[in-house]
Amino acid sequence: MSAPPYNKLTYYTAATPNGLKPAIVLEELGVPYEARAIDIRKNEQKEEWFLAINPNGRIPALKDGDDFRVFESGAIMLYLTDMYDKEKKFTYPHGSQDYYEMMSWLMFQMGGLGPMQGQANHFRAMAPVYSAYGIKRYLDETKRLLGVLEIRLSKADWLAGDKYTIADIASFSWARGAPLFLDIDISEFPGVDRWLKRIEERPAVQRAKKVPAGAAMSDEDLKQLLQSMKDRVDALKGTEKDESKP
């Protein structure tokens, strides 16, 4: 088998923060790709054909050519910049100090912001019970992690070095949802707020938000949907599904 890149990219995704991350990279790079929508509401990601691409049964996943696969959003972002960003527009030369700073912030999102905010989102808007403990625990941790971003972004435009990289793309894709899912007042983090707006206005980001076609929602529609989801969870207070009761 010849070495990649094959430039025959198929991106398997859904309209989630992790799905958005590589979509932004694909759009920023301007490489041709096909987006294949995965219906996670029907557990399509657990079907045998998809598990052959990603054994973890999660979106997103990527194929380059017929046989070469990459799964997990961070790995996909690294693959795309390794293979298709030869000018290092969205990364830094391997081995440089800026490269490892970028990697540190990327791992911060992969191991911290994404998992913790994901849990906060679940307890606040998707859980089958009302859990005041679960909501507070993960909401507080999400705010703490936004505060870590603020430490850097209060004095710099970008997370790593002096340019926009995949580290910014990764955390942006999650942090942008904090006000919608968790009612966090992002103005409490002014550096993060400016950074979010700076990234949001990029044309490639606006295109990526519409990937996969037909599955993505407008910000206003998403806001309304999330409010109805939070209202459902709130309605469980005081019922037999309220885990806050003694």
In the chain, DSSP assigns E strands to 9-13, 33-37, 61-64, 68-71
Say yes or no: 38 and 118 in one domain: no
Q: CA 209, CA 201: separation in Å to the nearest integer?
A: 12
Domain assignment present for residue 205? The answer is yes
SS3 (DSSP) at 210: coil
In sequence order, the 6+-apart residues with CB closer than 8 A to the CB of 7 are 31, 32, 64, 84
- Model confidence pLDDT, tens digit, residues 180-227: 999 999 999 999 999 999 999 999 999 999 999 876 677 788 889 899
Single residue among 49, 84, 119 that ends a domain in this structure: 84
Residues 105 and 227 in one domain: yes
Instruction: Please identify which residue in the block is written with the tokens 């399509």.
Output: 44
| Interatomic CA distance for residues 246 and 85, integer angstroms | 56
Domain boundary among 84, 111, 137: 84
Examine the domain organization and report whether 156 and 179 are in the same domain: yes
Q: Are residues 146 and 190 in the same domain?
A: yes
Q: How many helices (H) and strands (E) does the chain have?
A: 11, 4
Host domain of residue 55: 9-84
Q: Which of 61, 84, 107 is the last residue of a domain?
A: 84
CATH number at residue 225: 1.20.1050.10
Same domain, 137 and 189: yes
CA distance 56 to 10: 18
Task: Summarize pLDDT for 87-140 with one digit per residue, the tens.
Answer: 999 999 999 999 999 999 999 999 999 999 999 999 999 999 999 999 999 999
